[in-house]
Amino acid sequence: MDQIITILKFMIKRKLFLLCAFFIFFHVNNKAQEITIIPWPQKVDVGQGTFTINSQTKIVYSGKSIITAKILQSDIRDKLGFQNELVELEDPGRGNIFFKNDKTLAKETYQLVISKNKTEIFASDNVGWFYGVQSLIQLFPEMDKTTAEIKSIEIPVVTITDVPRFAWRAFMLDEGRYFKGMAQIKLLLDEMARLKMNVFHWHLVENEGWRIEIKKYPLLTEIGSKRKSSQIGPSKWDSPMQSGEPHEGFYTQEEIKEIIKYAEERHITIVPEIEMPGHSTAAIAAYPWLGTEKSRLDVPTKFGVSDDVYDVSDPRCTQFLTDVLDEIVDLFPSKVIHIGGDEVKYDDWKKSESVQAYMKDKNLTSPADLQIFFTNNISYYLQSKGRRMMGWNEIMGHHLHEYQSEIDTKSTQKLAKESIIHFWKGDADLAVQAASNGYEIVNSHHNSTYIDYSYDDLTLSRAYAFDPIPEGLDPKYHNKIIGLGCQMWGEWIPTVGSMHFMVFPRIAAFAEVGWTEKGNKDYERFTMNLKKLENHWEQKGIYFAPFSFVEKNMK
Ligand code: ACM
C-alpha cells in the first residue's frame, strides 16, 4: 500500500493526472479480480485495502454462532496453521472476526463485511454464518505448498451481501452401479458445502446393487449388494465386454447415521432415493417373490433398463416397500424421500394375471394408471409419516420412452399434488404444464445436468448456461421451480478417479446456476475463478478434469 501511495504522489507532483486516474482505475479493478468466490455472490462492493489475519486474530461469537465460529477456527488452523482464540461477545479489540446476529436476514442469507480493522459476518442462523465463512475462506490467497510457515495473510476489503437464487441446489451420486464408500461421500459433502450446495441426493438402489442395510430384510444386502462382474468397454451400453471381477458394497445403518450427521454439520440435507417399482432387480434377486415373475434371478452384470418390476398387486410386496420406507424414514431426517419411478418397462405387468386382475378391480385402465395409483399410495404413506414424496417425471404418466407405447402411458389417474416432480426428460412444455398445474419441480433435464455425459456432450459452458426455469413458464409460476439437480450416474465410473473427473469442475458450474442470480452470471469470470478452485481440489487429492482439457471439448 505504501508503495502505491508513493507512486500516486509522484504522479501528482509531475501533474500526470490522466495516468493517475488510469492507475487508480486499474488498481481498483485488480482488487475486483481478487474476489474469487464460486458461486458468485449477489452483491459485491470492493473497497480499498486489506484485512490481516494472523495468529493474534480473535474469533468473536455470540450465542449459537459458536458452532460456526468453531468451524472457521478449524478451517483457519487447517489452511494457515494458526490457532485463533475463540472469545464470546463483543471484543473491542481491533483486527478480529465477528459473528453477528441480524434477525432481518432470511435463512441461508449472510452479509460479509470486511474492513481494514475487522471482519463481520451477519446472519440470523448457523447456515447463514456457515455460508459467510465459505465466502471468507475463498478470499484467502492461494497458498504455496512449499511455504514453510505462514505468518499472516491479507484479504481484500469488501462487502458481500448474499442470498441464494434457488432453495434446492442438489448433487446426486449413483452408488447403485458402483459403491464408492464413506470417505468419498465425505469428500463430496465437503466440496458441496464449499460451493453452498445443500441437497445430497443419494441414489442407493439400483438393478445392479442395493447399497443400504435394511434390518428387516437382510438379504437385500447379503445378496443384492453383490454382483459377479460388470459390463465395461468403450462402447458402453453396447459393449459385450465384462470386467470378470466381482463388485460389492453397502452402508450399514450406523454408517448412514454417521454420514447424515456429517452432512448436517455442513447444512446439507441427504435425500435418499429408493427406486420403485422399476430399477428393482437387485431387490428381486434377494427376494424373488417381490417380482411379477416370482422366479430366481441374479443381480445383473449388464447395465441398462431392466424388464423386472415389483409385483405391486401382491400385498407382501407393498408391505415390503412400506417396511423399507419405515426404516428409511427412521434413518433420514429429510422431509423429502425420493422413490425414483423412472424407466418402468410395463411388459411384465401386462403379462401378469395377478396384476391384470388388480388393475380391473381398481378400475385402472393402463399400466401408467397403475404406476400413478401405486405412487400415490406410497405418497400418502409417506405423508402419514410427515414426509413428502419425490419422483422422476415418469410418475406423472409422461410418455418418454420408445419401449413404452403411447397407449400404455395414457392415464386418467392424477398424481398427488404434494409430490415433487424431478424433471429429467421430455419437452420443456411438460415441466411448464406441471408447474402451471401447481406441482413443485426440481429441474434436472438430462441434456444440461447429467454429469455422466462426456465433456463433448455436456460442455462446461453448457452446464453453466443452464437455467432451471423452463422457457415459456409464466412468471407467476416461477416459484414452483424450487431448484436444480446435477446427476452423477454410475455405470461408467468404476473408479474414484473417473468419478472425480466427471464431477469436477462441472459441479462448480451447477453450484453457480443454483445460487447466483441469472443476471449476475458471467462465464468468463467463472472460469477465471475456477483456477483457484483447481488449486484447492489438487490439495484435497481430487482428480478433476483440468480446465485446459475441458476447454478443448468446448463446442
Ligand atoms: C434417469 O435418468 N433414469 C432418471
For the stretch 501-542, pLDDT in tens is 999 999 999 999 999 999 999 999 999 999 999 999 999 999
Residues with CB under 6 A from ligand 1: 342-343, 392, 424
Residue nearest to atom 2 of ligand 1 (CA): 424
Q: Which residues pair with 240 in a beta bridge?
A: none
Whether 547 and 505 have beta carbons less than 8 Å apart is answered as yes
pLDDT band for position 324 (cuts 50, 70, 90): very high
Question: Which residue among 424, 430, 447, 448 is best mutated to probe the pocket of ligand 1, counting the most ligand atoms within 8 A of its Cβ?
Answer: 424
Number of CB atoms found within 10 A of residue 28's CB: 12
Q: Which residue is associated with the grid cell 472425480? A: 500
Whether 431 and 452 have beta carbons less than 8 Å apart is answered as no
> CA–CA separation, 349 vs 359, rounded Å?
10
pLDDT band for position 28 (cuts 50, 70, 90): very low
pLDDT at 27: 44
What is the arithmetic mean of pLDDT over 385-406? 95
pLDDT at 33: 52
Q: Which atom of ligand 1 is nearest to the CA of 343?
A: 3
32 pLDDT more than 50: no
Whether 159 and 113 have beta carbons less than 8 Å apart is answered as yes
Strand bridging mode 440-443 / 226-227: unpaired
Number of CB atoms found within 10 A of residue 307's CB: 15
What is the arithmetic mean of pLDDT over 469-497? 98
- What is the whole-number distance in angstroms between the Cα of residue 209 and the centre of ligand 1? 16
439 pLDDT more than 70: yes
pLDDT at 26: 43
Q: Which atom of ligand 1 is nearest to the CA of 487?
A: 2
165 pLDDT more than 70: yes
Q: Helical H runs in 99-215?
A: 126-138, 182-194
What is the arithmetic mean of pLDDT over 323-343? 98
Of the ranges 133-147, 271-285, 293-307, which one carries the lowest mean pLDDT score?
A: 133-147
256 pLDDT more than 50: yes
What Cα–Cα distance (Å) separates residue 243 from each residue in 209, 227, 454? Answer: 16, 11, 22
pLDDT band for position 15 (cuts 50, 70, 90): low
The distance from CA 32 to its chain's CA centroid, rounded to whole angstroms, is 28
Whether 23 and 11 have beta carbons less than 8 Å apart is answered as yes
pLDDT at 145: 63
Whether 464 and 442 have beta carbons less than 8 Å apart is answered as no
Question: Which residue among 343, 344, 394 is best mutated to probe the pocket of ligand 1, counting the most ligand atoms within 8 A of its Cβ?
Answer: 343
pLDDT at 2: 43
Residue nearest to atom 3 of ligand 1 (CA): 342
Orientation of helix 182-194 relative to helix 126-138, angle to 10°: 80
Quote the pTM value: 0.94
Question: Which residue among 392, 401, 444 is best mutated to probe the pocket of ligand 1, counting the most ligand atoms within 8 A of its Cβ?
Answer: 392
- What is the whole-number distance in angstroms between the Cα of residue 343 and the centre of ligand 1? 7
| pLDDT averaged over every residue in the chain | 93
What pLDDT, in 10s, does the model give residues 121-137? 999 999 999 999 999 99
Task: Spell out where 80-190 has E strands.
Answer: 86-88, 97-101, 110-114, 119-123, 152-162, 168-174
Task: Return the higher-pLDDT residue of 172 and 149.
Answer: 172
Would you say the C-alpha torsion 39, 45, 47, 53 has a positive or negative sign? negative
pLDDT at 29: 42
The answer to whether the peptide bond before residue 272 is cis (omega within 30 degrees of 0) is no
Element (H, E) at 483: strand 481-488
Q: Which residue is associated with the grid cell 424407466? A: 343
Task: Spell out where 250-360 has E strands.
Answer: 269-273, 336-338
Phi, psi of 249 (to 5 degrees): 155, 145
Q: Which residue is associated with the grid cell 469436477? A: 504
pLDDT at 552: 75
3 pLDDT more than 50: no
- What is the whole-number distance in angstroms between the Cα of residue 393 and the centre of ligand 1? 9
Q: Helical H runs in 352-427?
A: 353-361, 367-384
Task: Return the higher-pLDDT residue of 204 and 24.
Answer: 204
**Burial tier of 384 (Cβ tally within 10 Å: 0-12, 13-18, 19+):** exposed
What Cα–Cα distance (Å) separates residue 126 from each residue in 61, 106, 129, 222, 293? Answer: 11, 11, 5, 40, 51
Number of CB atoms found within 10 A of residue 304's CB: 13
pLDDT at 284: 98
pLDDT at 143: 77
pLDDT band for position 9 (cuts 50, 70, 90): low
pLDDT band for position 146 (cuts 50, 70, 90): low
The distance from CA 89 to its chain's CA centroid, rounded to whole angstroms, is 35
18 pLDDT more than 70: no
478 pLDDT more than 90: yes
- What is the whole-number distance in angstroms between the Cα of residue 342 and the centre of ligand 1? 6
The number of residues making up the chain comes to: 555
* Secondary structure letter of residue 236 according to DSSP: G
Whether 107 and 127 have beta carbons less than 8 Å apart is answered as yes
283 pLDDT more than 50: yes
What is the arithmetic mean of pLDDT over 145-156? 83
Question: Which residue among 174, 398, 425 is best mutated to probe the pocket of ligand 1, counting the most ligand atoms within 8 A of its Cβ?
Answer: 425
- What is the whole-number distance in angstroms between the Cα of residue 31 and the centre of ligand 1? 44
344 pLDDT more than 80: yes
What Cα–Cα distance (Å) separates residue 473 from each residue in 300, 417, 433? Answer: 41, 19, 8
407 pLDDT more than 80: yes
C-alpha cell at 11: 504522479
Whether 173 and 202 have beta carbons less than 8 Å apart is answered as yes
Q: Which of 401, 393, 402, 389 minimizes the C-alpha distance to 444?
A: 393
pLDDT at 351: 96
pLDDT at 25: 45
Q: Which atom of ligand 1 is nearest to the CA of 422?
A: 4
385 pLDDT more than 70: yes
Whether 62 and 86 have beta carbons less than 8 Å apart is answered as no
C-alpha cell at 174: 449413483
Residue nearest to atom 1 of ligand 1 (CA): 342
What Cα–Cα distance (Å) separates residue 24 from each residue in 21, 27, 30? Answer: 5, 5, 10
pLDDT at 34: 82
Percentage of the chain lying above the pLDDT 90 cut: 88
C-alpha cell at 117: 480493522
**Burial tier of 215 (Cβ tally within 10 Å: 0-12, 13-18, 19+):** exposed
What pLDDT, in 10s, does the model give residues 355-376? 999 999 999 999 999 999 999 9
Q: Helical H runs in 14-164?
A: 17-33, 66-80, 126-138
End-to-end CA distance of the chain: 43
Whether 191 and 185 have beta carbons less than 8 Å apart is answered as no
pLDDT at 149: 82
Number of CB atoms found within 10 A of residue 425's CB: 17
What pLDDT, in 10s, does the model give residues 74-119? 999 998 999 999 999 866 777 799 999 999 999 999 999 999 999 9
pLDDT at 1: 43
